[in-house]
Amino acid sequence: MAPPRYRGAINIGFQLCVGIGVLSSNLINFGTEKIKGGWGWRISLVMAAVPASILTLGSFFLPETPNSIIQHSKDHHKAKLMLQRIRGTNDVQQELEDLIEASNTSHSIKHPFKNILQRNYRPQLVMAIAIPFFQQFTGINVISFYAPILFLTIGLGESASLLSAVMTGVVGTTATFISMLMVDKLGRRVLFISGGIQMFFSQVIIGCIMATQLGDHGEISKKYAYMILVLICMYVAGFAWSWGPLGWLVPSEIFQLEIRSAAQSITVAVNFLFTFIVAQTFLSMLCRFKFGTFFFFGGWVVVMTAFVYLLLPETKNVPIEQMDRVWREHFFWKRIVGDKS
pLDDT digit string, tens, across residues 252-269: 899 887 788 889 999 999
Tell whether 255 is covered by a domain.
Answer: yes
Torsion angles phi and psi, residue 125, rounded to 5:
-65, -45
Tell whether 204 is covered by a domain.
Answer: yes
Structural domain of 286: 112-337
Q: How many domains does the chain have?
A: 1
Query: Cα Rg for the chain, rounded, in angstroms?
Result: 22
Tell whether 40 is covered by a domain.
Answer: no
Using CA atoms, how far residue 4 sits from 77, 155, 263, 318, in Å, is 22, 48, 20, 6
In tens, the pLDDT along 297-337 reads 999 999 999 999 999 999 998 888 788 889 999 999 998 98
Q: Which of 52-66, 212-226, 234-248 has the lowest mean pLDDT?
A: 212-226
Tell whether 210 is covered by a domain.
Answer: yes
Using CA atoms, how far residue 196 sits from 9, 214, 224, 243, 332, in Å, is 20, 26, 24, 8, 22
Tell whether 23 is covered by a domain.
Answer: no
Tell whether 80 is covered by a domain.
Answer: no
Confidence band of 154 (pLDDT split at 50, 70, 90): low
pTM over 0.75: yes
Tell whether 7 is covered by a domain.
Answer: no
Asked whether residue 275 carries a pLDDT value surpassing 60, the answer given is yes
Q: Which of 340, 324, 336 is nearest to 98 (CA)?
A: 324
Tell whether 299 is covered by a domain.
Answer: yes
Asked whether residue 186 carries a pLDDT value surpassing 80, the answer given is yes
Q: Which of 14, 8, 1 is nearest to 189 (CA)?
A: 8
The continuous run of DSSP H or E covering 225 comes out as: helix 222-240
For the segment 3-14, the average pLDDT, to the nearest whole number, is 88
Tally Cβ neighbours within 10 Å of residue 173: 21
Contacts of 194 (CB under 8 A, 6+ apart): 238, 242
pLDDT score recorded for residue 246: 94
- Indicate which CATH number applies to the domain containing 216: 1.20.1250.20
